[in-house]
Amino acid sequence: MSRQPAARARLPLRLTIFVTGVAGIALAIYLVLRSGVHDILHILDIAGWSLALLLPAHMAMLAIDSTGWRALLGRRPRVGTLVLTWFAIIRDSVNGLLPVARVGGELVAVRLLMARGVAGSEAGASVIVEVTVTLIVQFLFTLIGVFLLLYELHDAAAARAVLIGLLISLPALAIFFLLQHKWGLSQTIERVLVALTNRQVLALAGDPARLDRAVRDLYANRRALWSCFFWQFAALFAGAAETWFTLFLLGRPIGALGAILLESLGQALRSVSFIVPGGIGVQEGGFLLFGAAIGLPPDMAIAFSLARRLREIGLGIPALVSWQWEEGRLLTLHLRWRRKKDEIKERSDGN
């Protein structure tokens, strides 16, 4: 594929991301104004600086999530759970704060793993399989939310709408799995990455055929898969605990079932709206809709969403800065290596 057709292929996607981003911002502003700016600010003022506690709470959730990722990598030197948690925070921040259609974070994660000595194919396979497990776990977690809507809150209309969305997503999930497990990802990854960025990122995971084999090897490792599945599920319930804690800080504590419902359906909506940068507008509308099902007034639902935005920014910006610091460190090491290599070559030529 030449550079010009690749650029043309990237243009519609980038335009879509831009348009959806602008529309999301407009929707978010409308929902904030409609719910009452003064009331929302008053609710946030009740929590005040205690909202900073959401940062370590979310980091704890990502640490649980990273334990599952760690199971897929096996025992690797210098890639422990603490390092993977840092990588997960960067990955989450890239996907949440940058217009990358929730794909760029995965590419960054692969690069960071490779910088720690993990082979490109193994790093790429761990991220691909981990994303697949995440999609399956989120699907099941959303089913829990549908069950709560139907049997605890007796909201059949909302449950039916979410269930239809889940059924629609099933074929895409099945195709994504078959591409990895049966048909191979080589050509698919090449087309997707070229459309999203450029051909240079293909070098991240090395030989596509080797990546296919690494993915299949991971699926053959049932123990690692089940471990990843368990920790991913635990992370989602930790996310529900974070939801409960956020509303507690805002002065409106809810029950455990309400927190699980809000987290499960909010996660599903955020995943479906991956093309919207940061899920702006979609997240606010989702919490407004599902919050009403558990008795949250509109101003509280929007305040809850804005509290999450503050957490994303408060944790995300330092994470992005640390990522750039790491990239600078890697560049410095590469330049030193090149300089040393050139010096050795000059001495050998001189002899």
pLDDT (tens digit per residue) in 83-108? 899 999 999 888 887 766 566 788 88
Tally of domains in the chain: 1
For residue 262, the tally of other CB atoms under 10 A from its CB is 28
Residue 31 and residue 25: Cα distance in Å, rounded?
10
pLDDT at 195 over 60: no
pLDDT given for residue 199 in this prediction:
46
Mean pLDDT of 144-150: 80
| HEC per residue, the chain | CCHHHHHHHHHHHHHHHHHHHHHHHHHHHHHHHHHCHHHHHHHHHHHHHHHHHHHHHHHHHHHHHHHHHHHHHCCCCCCCHHHHHHHHHHHHHHHHHCCCCCCHHHHHHHHHHHHCCCCHHHHHHHHHHHHHHHHHHHHHHHHHHHHHHHHHCCCHHHHHHHHHHHHHHHHHHHHHHHHHHHHCCHHHHHHHHHHHCCHHHHHHHCCHHHHHHHHHHHHHCHHHHHHHHHHHHHHHHHHHHHHHHHHHHCCCCCCHHHHHHHHHHHHHHHHHCCCCHHHCCHHHHHHHHHHHHCCCCHHHHHHHHHHHHHHHHHHHHHHHHHHHHHHHHHHHHHHHHHHHHHHHHHHHHHC
Cα 43 from chain centroid? 28
Residue 293 within a domain: yes
Q: Are residues 235 and 61 in contact, defined by beta-carbon separation less than 8 angstroms? A: yes
Q: What is the pLDDT of residue 57?
A: 93
Model pLDDT, residue 244:
94
Mean pLDDT within 183-204: 49
Q: Taking each helix axis from N to C terminus, what angle separates 3-35 and 282-293, rounded to the nearest 10 degrees?
A: 40
Confidence at residue 207, expressed as pLDDT on a 0 to 100 scale: 62
For residue 336, tell me if it sits in a domain: no
Token pair belonging to 302: 């929007």
CB 28 within 8 A of CB 276: no
Q: Which residue has the higher pLDDT, 260 or 203?
A: 260
- pLDDT of res. 151: 73
Per the domain annotation, does 342 fall within a domain? no
Q: Which amino acid is at 199?
A: R
Length of the chain: 351
Kindly report which listed range (193-197, 251-255, 330-334, 335-339) carries the lowest average pLDDT score. Answer: 193-197
CA 66 to CA 57: how far, in whole Å?
14
Whole-angstrom Cα distance, residue 110 to residue 72? 13
Is the distance from CB of 240 to CB of 58 less than 8 angstroms?
no
Q: What is the pLDDT of residue 173?
A: 59
On whether residue 320 sits in a domain, the answer given is yes
Contact 291, 32 (CB under 8 A): no
Among 117-126, 171-180, 304-313, where is mean pLDDT lowest?
171-180
Alpha carbon distance 237, 259 (integer Å): 9
- 339: CB partners within 8 A, 6+ apart: none
Q: Determine the average pLDDT of the residues in 271-279.
A: 63
Residue 23: C-alpha distances to residues 29, 215, 276, 282 (Å): 10, 37, 9, 10
Residue 344 lies in a domain: no
- Select the more confidently predicted residue: 240 or 330: 240
Q: Are 81 and 300 in contact (CB under 8 A)?
A: no
Residue 153: the pLDDT is 66
Given a cut of 90, is residue 193 above it in pLDDT?
A: no
Tell which wins on pLDDT, 285 or 85.
Answer: 85
At residue 281, the pLDDT reads 63
Q: What is the pLDDT of residue 168?
A: 59
Q: For residue 194, is it within any domain?
A: yes
Q: Average pLDDT for residues 141-164, to the nearest whole number? A: 71
338 has a pLDDT exceeding 60: yes
pLDDT at 182 over 50: yes
According to the model, what pLDDT value does residue 78 have?
A: 64
* Mean pLDDT estimate for the chain: 75
Q: Is residue 212 part of a domain?
A: yes
CA dist., res. 293 & res. 299, Å (int): 14
Q: Is the dihedral of CA 319, 72, 67, 226 positive or negative?
A: positive
User: Would you state the pLDDT for residue 155?
Assistant: 62
pLDDT at site 89: 92
pLDDT at residue number 201: 46
- Give the closest residue to 337 by CA, choosing from 84, 115, 77, 118: 115
Residue 253 lies in a domain: yes
Q: Are 135 and 176 in contact (CB under 8 A)?
A: yes
Q: Report whether pLDDT(170) > 70.
A: no
Stronger pLDDT, 21 or 135, i.e. the higher one: 135
Provide the pLDDT for residue 243: 93
Residue 64 has pLDDT above 90, yes or no: yes
Q: Which residue has the higher pLDDT, 128 or 20?
A: 128
Domain that holds residue 120: 3-35+52-331
Show Cβ contacts of residue 322 under 8 Å, excluding neighbours closer than 6 positions.
86, 90
Q: Would the pLDDT of 79 be above 70?
A: yes
Alpha-carbon distance of 95 to 126, in angstroms, equals: 18
